[in-house]
Amino acid sequence: MRIKVTVIVENHSGFKKGLYGAHGFSALVEGKVRVLVDTGVEGNVLLRNMKELGIDPDDIDYLFLTHGHYDHTGGLKALLEARSGKLKVVAHPGVFARRVALKPHLRDIGIPFRREELRAEFILSKDPLQFVRGIWSSGEIERVTWDRAVGYLLKDGKLIRDPIKDDMALIIDGVDGITVITGCGHSGILNIARHSRNLLNKPVKSLIGGFHLANAKKGILEEVVRNLEAEKLYAGHCTGMDSYAYLKGKLGGRMEPLYAGRVIEI
């Protein structure tokens, strides 16, 4: 399957006039069907950029949520309200968990909506799920090496470290390899690539999204250079400027940046 990936929301706004940059991620995958991956941080940014890019909210067949953080789910309610029909939303059952960060101050970082207020048809699975022929939700990602989990879960009035079990990737089965789209990469980018390759038993041709390497120690970046199983890397969002620069220096043409308006054809 040939696919086109259009980045709609990203921390940087790229080169096209009229697009907003905002902390978060959203991208549209167009193949046999149209799958939106995440909704960015705010409805107004998502809908503005969709309009500028000529994407009609009603043309989306599925929404895939990579995880429940606010910067990936914040545009969800506005997107649903901008549509005339119900949207099918594929996510992990833990996507609605109440989550907080303590630094730089106590704040909510989970999905800013309750399930009841969202006019959507949720397809929730923690197991791998091929929801359209050739298009998979990774399910929970096996962590054999370091992950990049952040924040806390609020459960029964107590704070417990959040493993972000709901972190999943979208995997598209291609002719000569798979394309993997990750939101924040909290499961660890090495684990995500490995899990995806094992699941479909095909090499990773392109890995697209946030790699969550901001402030990563040099040892972690060296491991990424040595062990990341992907032919081509398109990294943005929470990859971190310093880490991006380091990896670009080592990987050269294998690595490219993401920005709102970026189109990748595979």
Binding track over 14-33 against Fe ion, x by CB under 5 A: --------------------
Stretch that binds Fe ion, among 70-78, 90-98, 128-136, 201-209 (CB under 5 A): 70-78
Which segment (6-14, 38-46, 67-75, 244-252) binds Fe ion by CB under 5 A? 67-75
- Compute the distance between CA of residue 140 and CA of residue 165 in angstroms, rounded to an integer: 6
Q: In angstroms, give the least distance from the CB of 165 to Fe ion.
A: 13
- The CB density around residue 163, as the number of other CB atoms within 10 Å, is 15
Min CB(191)–Fe ion separation in Å: 15
Q: Is 69 in the site for Fe ion (CB under 5 A)?
A: yes
Nearer of residues 91 and 238 to Fe ion, judged by Cβ? 238
Distance CA 103, CA 35 (A): 34
Q: Which stretch binds Fe ion (CB under 5 A): 33-41, 49-57, 64-72, 249-257?
A: 64-72
Question: With binding defined as CB under 5 A, does residue 71 bind Fe ion?
Answer: yes
Measure the CA–CA gap between 24 and 56, rounded to whole angstroms. 20
| Cα–Cα dist 95/119, whole Å | 16
Exposure letters 120-135 (e unless 16+ CB within 10 A, then b): bebebbeebbebbebb
CA distance 152 to 163: 8
Rounded CA-CA distance 202/11 in Å is 31
Q: Which residue has the tokens 């890397």?
A: 233
Of residues 217 through 256, those in contact with Fe ion by CB under 5 A are 238
- Nearer of residues 200 and 233 to Fe ion, judged by Cβ: 233
CB of 175 to Fe ion, least distance (A): 30
Contacting Fe ion within 179-198 (CB under 5 A): 184
Return the number of the residue (25 or 177) whose C-beta is nearest Fe ion: 25
- Element counts in the chain: helices (H) and strands (E): 6, 18
DSSP state for residue 20 in the 8-state scheme = P
The contact set with Fe ion (CB under 5 A) reads 69, 71, 184, 238
